[in-house]
Amino acid sequence: MTPHVPRPLLLAFLLPGVVLFTVFFLLPLSLILAEAGSDGGVAFMALLSDPVFWNGLGGSLLLGTVAPAFSLVVGFVLAAALARMSPARRTAALFAISLPLTFSGLIVAYGFILLLGRAGFLTQLLAMVGFDPAVVGGLIFSPAGLGLAYSYYLIPRVVLVVLPALRNFDPAQLAAARSLGAGRFRTVVEILLPQIVPSLLAAYCLTAAVAIGAYGTALALAGTQVNILPLLLYSKVSETGTDLPAAAAISIVLVALCSLVIVLGEALSGRRRPSH
């Protein structure tokens, strides 16, 4: 039975969250909407007729699809390994895996440049065995390299979302299926995965929203050479040219995209979550 909470006390608990949500989300969003519509909606119409915007939207959607998919596969494997560890080892491993979440995008980008840039440590090692350092070092500045850098801080998010579901899964179900003749792969696909699909969907949509809106790593690695919406937004407010209504319109599109991805993830995972 749920204990009764006095209404005044409940409102007192809700008030700080409402204030924070209003000041740091609703108020900025309303100001951006006002800026985007300050010219009578011309900024939105200009976006719809701008091929650079559509290319940036396609680039953001591609990056926000492929990088999270790769991160989901790697994160699931890591979470499965962590679920089998002892509590002490799991805590230490989680600490190490979660460290990238504390780094800014610029630090992540600089680390990848030192490792895989044209003069990077790994690039120089590969050059010793015959690889062209110009080709290897240039990959990190390409869309594929940007996706790899994104995965560095997307994978820990996947692990943190999926690990609780794997820890709550009863491995005796897999053992029972194998005792009845099912193979290891079949038991995972038909027994394990269906039960953790809500967590997998939530992890994928969360990392997709992060990848679509990420900015610092992309700017440091690719500058404006890769056409994605966050960098297109940067170009609208940079020193070389300022177009605040266009920047506000792009911001609204980014907010809408990320919100749609999160809502879609919640809807899909909620639909697949078993009822009790």
Domain ranges of the chain: 51-272
pLDDT at 224 over 80: no
The dihedral built from the CA positions of residue 106, 260, 21 and 204, taken in this order, carries a sign that is negative
Question: What percent of the chain clears pLDDT 70, i.e. is strictly above it?
Answer: 95
**Tokens coding 137:** 């070092």
pLDDT at 20 over 90: yes
The CATH architecture that domain 51-272 belongs to is Orthogonal Bundle (1.10)
What does the pLDDT average to over 251-255?
Answer: 92
Contact 46, 54 (CB under 8 A): no
Under DSSP, the state recorded for 242 is: E
**Tokens coding 57:** 């939207």
Under DSSP, the state recorded for 238 is: E
User: Could you tell me the pTM of the whole model?
Assistant: 0.85
Q: Please give the pLDDT value at position 200.
A: 93
* The residue type at 208: A
Helix (H) or strand (E) holding 160: helix 143-168
pLDDT at 272 over 60: no
**Tokens coding 60:** 């953001």
**Cα 122 to Cα 197: distance, rounded to the nearest angstrom:** 36
pLDDT at 258 over 60: yes
Model confidence at 60, pLDDT cuts 50, 70, 90, reads: very high
